[in-house]
Amino acid sequence: MDDDLGARLERFVGERLGAPVRVIHLERSTEGFSQETFVFEVEVGRERRGYVAKREPVAGLLEPYDLEPEFRVLHALSDDPLPSPPTPWFTRDPAVLERPFYVMERLPGEVPIPAARADGSGPFDDAERAALGPQVARALARLHAIDWRARGFQFLGAPRPGREAAEHELARWEERIRRSGLPVSPPLAEALLWCRRHAPATDAITLVHGDYRLGNFLVVHEAGGPRLTGILDWELVHLGDPLEDVAWCASPLWRAGTPYASALLPPEEFAARWAEASGRTADPERLCFYAVLAFVKMIAIMLSGLAAFRSGRTTDLRMAIFDHQFPFLHLLLGMTRGWLAGAPA
């Protein structure tokens, strides 16, 4: 890893802690597709502290980038019981890491990925699912219970009660599709038309994570069973309908070859546990809309990445493979829309 990068992080962290620090470990994480992520450890006197720096990429999946809103949310939640990473610092100063970035404290745990094991099974056994699934549902309910007005999150833009939350999200992803300049496939075109006709109304406006799912959970495996220790990747945080998060977490996109929401619980049970913990209703009509919107969203993200790669604005080869994943997404979308037999629950 670049020694100069370590030296710059030493100065940045040292200035904010008011004490000299030494970077003793620094590595680039390649697991995330959206932002550039650097994991590092510093020595402050005799104490060691772990941090993660998230830097705005030159080009990528979620252009145009602005890390400040998610930093403001994470910073405000640093003292909340929700297992989000305490996030103390953000800067736009190009002298530090060339591009805007923020630093959060490193939480314990590992990130199970949404992929089946070599034998075709999911990432969790039955006991792990039984222990972890309810924790994930309760944590999501806790996230949606946050008083966003008291926390000062009005800057995210609050939709009015009614159809505005659904319509705003649909418009956001339609704009990203348009901006990619790539062709709209017939399945995507049909899904967009269906979403325009079926945008549901709601009076429930909450903080929405936007990417709450397997792959963004930190988990520690202890003697008493697995424990959720962190909720990561807040790039898509906004104010909207909480059922958007429920449907995204339960989407076939994240089931890792299992029939379970994020490989943890049957989708109906996940929604029911969230409803019980939140005191809200898992309205089937709204869930159906956001289940379809999940595929619009995923295809829009992949089109953005593919466009960035084709234009030469990024050389990340992971973006190039998206072209080969669209048929599978279209298949899942068709099953969700009921075009094909075997529609997932």
The CA radius of gyration of the chain, in Å to the nearest whole number, is: 20
Within 13 Å, how many C-alpha atoms sit on residue 123's CB side? 21
What integer pLDDT is reported at residue 344 of this predicted model?
Answer: 47
Map tokens 């969700």 to a residue.
Answer: 336
One-letter identity of residue 28: R
Residue 285 CB neighbour total at 10 angstroms = 11
CA 5 to each of CA 26, 35, 38, 39, 276: distance values in angstroms, whole numbers, following the listed order: 9, 17, 10, 12, 47
What integer pLDDT is reported at residue 343 of this predicted model?
Answer: 46
DSSP assignment of 25-82 equals: EEEEE-S-SSSEEEEEEEEETTEEEEEEEEE--SS-TTPSP--HHHHHHHHHTTTSSS
User: Phi and psi of 180, rounded to 5°?
Assistant: -65, -30
What integer pLDDT is reported at residue 264 of this predicted model?
Answer: 98
- Percentages helix, strand, coil for the chain (3-state, rounded to 5) are 45, 15, 40
What integer pLDDT is reported at residue 303 of this predicted model?
Answer: 96
Return per-residue pLDDT of the chain as tens, 345 residues: 466 999 999 999 999 999 999 999 999 987 667 889 999 999 999 999 999 999 999 888 888 889 999 999 999 999 999 999 999 999 999 989 999 999 999 999 999 999 999 888 999 999 999 999 999 999 999 999 999 999 999 999 999 999 999 999 999 999 999 999 999 999 999 999 999 999 999 999 999 999 999 999 999 999 989 999 999 999 999 999 999 999 999 999 999 999 999 999 999 999 999 999 999 999 999 999 999 999 999 999 999 999 999 999 888 888 989 999 999 999 999 999 988 755 444
| CB burial readout 50-85, b (16+ within 10 A) else e | ebbbbbbbebbbbbebebebbbbbbbbbeeeeebbb
What integer pLDDT is reported at residue 265 of this predicted model?
Answer: 98
User: Phi and psi of 5, rounded to 5°?
Assistant: -60, -45
DSSP assignment of 273-323 equals: HHHHHHT----HHHHHHHHHHHHHHHHHHHHHHHHHHHTTS---HHHHGGG
What integer pLDDT is reported at residue 29 of this predicted model?
Answer: 85
For the chain, what are the domain ranges? Answer: 10-105, 126-337
What integer pLDDT is reported at residue 267 of this predicted model?
Answer: 98
Tell me, which fold does domain 10-105 have in CATH?
A: Phosphorylase Kinase; domain 1 (3.30.200)
Strands 238-240 and 206-208: antiparallel
One-letter identity of residue 2: D
Strands 89-91 and 22-29: unpaired
Stretch (H or E) spanning 176: helix 164-180
Same fold, 10-105 and 126-337: no
What integer pLDDT is reported at residue 341 of this predicted model?
Answer: 58
Cα angle 271, 277, 281; round to 5: 50
Look up the CATH superfamily of 126-337. Aminoglycoside phosphotransferase (APH), C-terminal lobe (3.90.1200.10)
What integer pLDDT is reported at residue 345 of this predicted model?
Answer: 42
